[in-house]
Structures are given as structure tokens and as C-alpha cells.
Structure 1
Amino acid sequence: MAVFNLTPSDPSSFILTGIPGLEAAHIWISIPFSTSYIISLLGNFMVLFVVGKEQTLHNPMYLLFCMLAVTDISTSTSIVLKALCIFWFKLEVISVGGCLTQIFFFHAGTVMHSAVLVTMAFDRYVAICNPLRYATILTNAQIAKLGLVGLIRAVLFALPLPLLLSRQPFCANRIIPHTYCDHMAVAKMSCGDITVNRMYGLVIPFVVNGSDLTLIALSYGLIIKAVLRISSKKVHQKTLSTCTAHICVMLISYPPFFFSTVTHRFGQDIAPHIHIILANLYFLLPTMLNPIIYGAKTKELREKVGKYTCRMWSLGGHRL
């Protein structure tokens, strides 16, 4: 291919090969990639549009939906566009600066995503366990502050990854068997000692997500304790329904993350293309399914989305 006219030893570039062993199927693989990305964009932008237009939705829970939508859009965009360029146009070259930038935005997005899920769990705890004080404890301003704290935390944890890599001397082999610049995949291209990279890349995600999961578990433990004190089955069902969407989002977010992280470092017996497919599913599925889950499980949001969708269809019909 023409791309390999650029020698891998070029000190200003890397080469992303896509999914090794499945190069002949890249065009076919691009179909679920692009479809998932388009569905993700449509769903998340619809959430942002509807919440922005409807004053009745300007409350903490829906502001958190918007934070999650923005995070999902930025995370998926930072990865999918380059992957599609590889699949469609064989544009496999990426500059070192572009590679490090992609690493930063991807990992900052994943840390921010986890922070939003923690805040959502706290929101559900206050709404269920302390409903009379909900409006005073969780105001829109308070949610904005929590979002800012989450963003600062994401930047602080993600920034060392590209900084550590920028100090590494890279070998002549600059071909990365991946669809995007994964931190460890790039670190393995180094001729130097990557012990710190390995430790930081493994410990920090588990510390961040482990602490977040602990806080989420604590919130749900208190919720369950409060609900069990009430004998009404209707209250139990209503409480469960208000938490279902958040639980579903966690189930499609955390398990793939931990599985991908562990297999990438310790699953030497797993085929490379399986590693890469799992790594891509980790960010493709949640970003696509999150707006669908919240739209399906949140009655008010579902009704507003339906209203604007019908209005758009009617306007389109009149124009035709």
C-alpha cells in the first residue's frame, strides 16, 4: 500500500494498521463502526437538543444526561473518525502529536464518564433517601460544580499518559496494530524502560474506576436500606424503575472496561484482533446505547423526544 512509502522509522509519525489479520474485511467492519457512531451522534445530540429546548427538563437529573451525552460524543469522535479513515481510505499514518492528543482525549473522556456515573448515583440517593431536601442539596449550580470537579479530575489523571510517552525514545518499528493510539500499544513501540507507563496505565484506571464503583455501591447500599424499611411493593417498584437506567448504563460501561484493560496486559494467549475488537466495543456500545436506555427508561424524556420527532417528521412531510 502507498501508505508504507512512509518508513516506520519516521520520527514524526506512527502507522495504525487497523485490525491485524482482518485487513481484507475492513470495509465490512466499517459498517457497524459507522452505524454505531451515527446512532450515537443522533441519540446524544437529540438528548442535548430536547433538554436545551424544554424548560421543564432543566433540572439536575437531565443536566447529568447532557454531561454524559457530551462525554460520549467527544470520546467516540476522538476514536471513530480516525478508525473510519483507516477502514475506508487507508489513511494509516498519524503524527506523534496527533497520537498523544488522541490518547489524552480518550482517557480524559473515560474518566469523566465514570465521574458522571458517580454523580448520577448520588443524585438517585438524594432523590430516594432525602426527597424533601433534594431541591436544596442538588441545585443546577451544584451539578455544574460537580461536573467541573469531574472535568479537572479527568484532565489531571489523563495528562500524565501522553506526557510519559512523549519522553520515551521510539524504535524503528512504529507500526501500531490497532485502530487508535492506545496508551500501552504506543508504549510497546518504545526502546526505553516503560515500567512507569505500565504501572500508571494499569493502577490509575483501577484506582479511579474502583473508587468510583465503591461510591456507587455505597449509594445503592443506602438506597436499598431505605427502600427495605418501606413495606409498599409499589414504592419498591417505583424506586427500582428510577434506578434501572443508571444500572443498565453501568453494566455496559464498567465490565467491558475492566475486561479490555486486563486482557490487553495479561491476555497474551488471546488473538490480537480479539483484543482490538473488545477495545473498540468498550467505547462504541456505551456511547450508542446510553441515550437509547435513558430515552426508553425516562418517561418525560421519552415523551419530549417523541414530540420533537413527530414535529420534525410533520415539517418534512409539509415540505415534500
Structure 2
Amino acid sequence: MRGGFARPVVNLPTLSALLVVAVLSGCSLFRSPPPPEPEAPVAASEPDVASEPEAASAPDAASDTETPEAKPAPRKPRPAPVRRRRPTPPPPAPASAPVAPPPQPLVQTKVIERGTFRTLLDSEVQKTDGKVVGRAVDMVAGPGGKPQEVVVNLQGFMGIGDRKASFPWSAVRVNPQPKTPAITLALTPAQLQLTDRPKSGGAQPGVGEAGPTRLPLIDATVERANGAKVGRVVDVLLDGGADPLAVVLDVSGTLEKRHTIAADWSALHFVTKNNALEAQIEMSDQQVDASPPYANDQPVRAVSPNPATGAAPAASARGAQ
């Protein structure tokens, strides 16, 4: 034997077997792999089924050694339920304060339309036959303010022989139509003789004189009960029935522009004071200032104090003049 590795002994049957194995393995190398199988489509509408929890495996009963029982996991404490407090209802809206009523007017007014009255002062006076005999210059009021007499300035010839004469108020007729003699005297025969034969020498005795029961109104002072002056009478308004409706008062001060108002006749009070009859009206300076002015060409608004505003205050600077 020679040195080195021994040669393997290959016989013919072994070599044939090896060739067959090589041919078979080569065929498998060149064969194409089968195509992959398509995956089944998953339905989109099917919801995912939650995996069921696996059941806990039962403890092995066949174990020889006893294992200690597993303690249950401690439960997590549940948080105390939070009770939400109901929101406090808003307080009720405060009731709206009652609207204060408008202040009471200081004076009450009564409208006297033009064409329903005539003024007394300087109005023409005629007899029933239509003859004008003079002009009215005054009215004499008695207790309670009832008219007693009318004072007429009787006309003479060309102004000569003019004189004043008084006639009973019962003979007075008033025509409210404008542009006509305002007063007609329905006189008796004896009274007609007096007007037909005027005499010079001034007025009749007692004409225009004041007394405890007589008050000539024109230029009379109207005061409050406390003696404070309110105004001076400058005219009297008469209706168609010869009843006085109002007096026109000059209420202007010493240095003021002339200011006249119409005072309702019903607001006057006639009282005897210091043995003389006088007219009073309870109107404060504020009420006088709040009175609408009197104008010859406008409807007359006769005023009277509003009793809701209280009585007139004490005498003021104007009343003390």
C-alpha cells in the first residue's frame, strides 16, 4: 500500500443510483412554483367581532402539590358620584316702579267762546226802542256776588251834561251778537223819564259807592283771605242771560308789563270785611303765573284754583305791594 488517502471504491450500481438522484433533483429546481392562492375578501359590512375573553384554565387537579389559591385582584374604588348642583334660578325681575302720575295742573280752565258773551265796560246801552242812551261803566254786586245794579254814563248833547245813573240789574238784557249794542234796558216809564231828561251836576246820589252790601266791581281789588292782593278788576264778562261769567283781572306788578287773566266768577268769594263788601279769590302767585293770558281776539280761558294743589300760600312779595 502507498502512502496518502485511500481511494473510494465506486462501483457501477452506485454510480447509476447517483445519476438518477441528480436528474430528479435537477428537474425539481427548474419547475416554476405554483401561483399563490388569492385571499378571501373580507366583507366591509361585517363588524369586527370582539374576541371573546379566554376562559381561565381550570387548575390542574392532577398536580401532586397543592398550589395556594390565587387571590382576586383588588377592585378599584369607584369614584364617588359627582352631584351637580342645580343652577340657582335667577332672581325674579324687580317689578317696574309705577310711573309717577303727571303733576296736577295748578289751575282749572273753562273755555268761553267768542260770540257767547259780551264785555261790560264801555259797552253801548240802548233802550227797547233802539235808541242808544250811553255806555256801561260799572256793575254793582251784592252779598254772594249777585248783580244788583248797572251803572251807565248817560250821554248829553256833544258830551255836555253827561252823568252817571244806576239801573236795577233786573232791567238788563244782554245781546251776545257782536257789532250791536251789548246792553238793552227794559225800563219802566218812570225810569225812562230819568234817561230822557239827563241833568248836569254829576252822578246820582249813591251811584258807584261801596258799602257793607254793595261792591262796585270795576277797579275793585281782589285779595286772598289773608289780605294779599291778587289783582284789580278791569272788566266783567256777561252771557246772554245777563249772568256774569268771569272777571278780567290786571295781575301785573308795579314794574311789569300789563298782564291780565280771566278769573271764573264761581271762584270769587264775596265777604264783608271792615264794614265793606269785598271780593276774594284763593290763588297763589304760582297759580296766577300759570294762568293763560286774556286776549280780546282769542277764546277766553277762565281760570279757577285747582283744589288738588292745595290752598294759596302766605302773602308773597307781589301780594304785599
Compare CA radii of gyration and give the structure with the larger one. 2
The structure richer in helix per residue is: 1
User: Greater relative contact order (Cα 8 A, min sep 6): structure 1 or 2?
Assistant: 1
The structure richer in strand per residue is: 2
Question: TM-score by structure 1 length?
Answer: 0.20
Question: TM-score by structure 2 length?
Answer: 0.20
